[in-house]
Chains A and B, each alone.
Chain A
Amino acid sequence: MSHVTRESLQSIKKSGVKMQLLLFFYNNPFTVDDLEGISMWVGMHKKEITREMEELCQMRLLVKRGTSHSYYRMTENSQLVEEVQKLIKEFYAQRKTKAS
């Protein structure tokens, strides 16, 4: 986990938008789309997700490509994918606890 710390990963759980974006990419791992498209897939405004997407890219959990027209996809780094998986499990476990 060279480019993302446990702390920064935990901070994702506090951001509802980031968590929703990460859940979407994790469940649909070969998604490749631009901001416009992703906003449609997750049902949020483009403005609402722009900054969060950039931050997820900085954490290297998402990969941004393209020059004039940027698009995003989930990281292919298996170590990072594993960390995301752990994070999502924790997220669901906490949600379950809260619900009960």
Chain B
Amino acid sequence: MTHSQLTPGVAAGRLPRDSYADNFSDLHAPLTAHEAAVASDRCYFCHDAPCMTACPTSIDIPLFIRQISTGTEESAARTILEQNIMGGMCARVCPTETLCEEVCVRETAEGKPVEIGRLQRFATDTLMEKGVHPFARAASTGKKVAVVGAGPAGLSCAHRLALKGHDVVVFDGRAKAGGLNEFGIASYKSVDSFAEREVAWLLEIGGIEIRLGQRLGENLDLDALAADYDAVFLGMGLAGVNALRADGEDKGNVTDAVDFISDLRQADDLPALPVGRNVVVIGGGMTAVDAAVQSKLLGADSVTMVYRRGKDRMGASLFEQDLASSKGVRIIYNAMPVAVHGNGAVQEVEFEYTVDDGGKLSGTGERFFLAADQLFKAIGQTLTGAPADLTVERGKIVVSETGRSSRAGVWAGGDCASGGDDLTVTAVAEGRDAAEDIHTSLSVKE
């Protein structure tokens, strides 16, 4: 039974078999050596470079680009990885257009920044393809640290701790390590199992044990961890999902965008993955864009993203919005869901236009309906399973600059903790900085 984009309902195999590979290929193709030489040549080696300041992990961007330009990609990779052990993934998923590349002086001068993200990928890919892990552990300290969450924050923290000679056990609730790098990012940003390969490469430092299927609040207990380990780092992310709070939310084919993205990333056979003919995504962040674009790439006939505020307030960058538009996703701004209609499964979604009065949102009374066979909710994730004795504010574990929580001996970082944007690169920085503080703390004891 073959399906097309027009097949009603939710169906698999809407596209010719061979078009899936094209659709889900690398969003940004890797640079060839010649392209990297040309791209690196454009860097001015700025003093106190704005790009470096804009990078949450403070990578010495002018230096690594110069190292590429002089044919020493491995040294370039080392410069990157010393600051950001997940520099390979960040090169793929960082919204560089709002970070390093936005402030590049070439952007100011010509509207065309140095391609920092792609150059970073060129350097880190070169090193990883050689099978080199450029760091060696310090002598064992005999200290043990528990890390909860094998995502960017947890793994970054674990690597830095292992580097310093501590033994680390990383617990994760899922069946596979990697966190959002593995489960929460659009496939075309991490092709060829890159997230999995990066984790394996990162673990080559040694001294890190991963224990899967262990979730805080379920089969893992903070008190027990605190008793068994010299320090604990929490980097379990935001496992919960916000509800729409619209009537009919419980109807069939109304699901969380994060689950759709995760299923897609883990799918062995994309043509077998069902998608609606008419898909509606509610939300305005990266997750919403990832779900919308990938629905389209899977063969949905029409995909509409609906965001309750204006374009300028949208969490997804302009680049991401343009990407969605270029793939045929329609974006409707200033509208909020009122009700989900359907007989069992969703058939249409009712919206009301909104006005944003200095941050205060209200409905205009004017409503409209969108046909929908599938509705994805992407209106933010929430913290779940946080131990009761930790101070939590605005849905995040409160931490200091160096990641210390309100409980002595417990650090936190990444999306589950306060401070910084919910970005992979920010999580890596927070994990690293917490590890440095844990190391300092463990070193002065006794």
Physical interaction between A and B: no
Residue numbers of B with Cβ under 8 A of A are: none
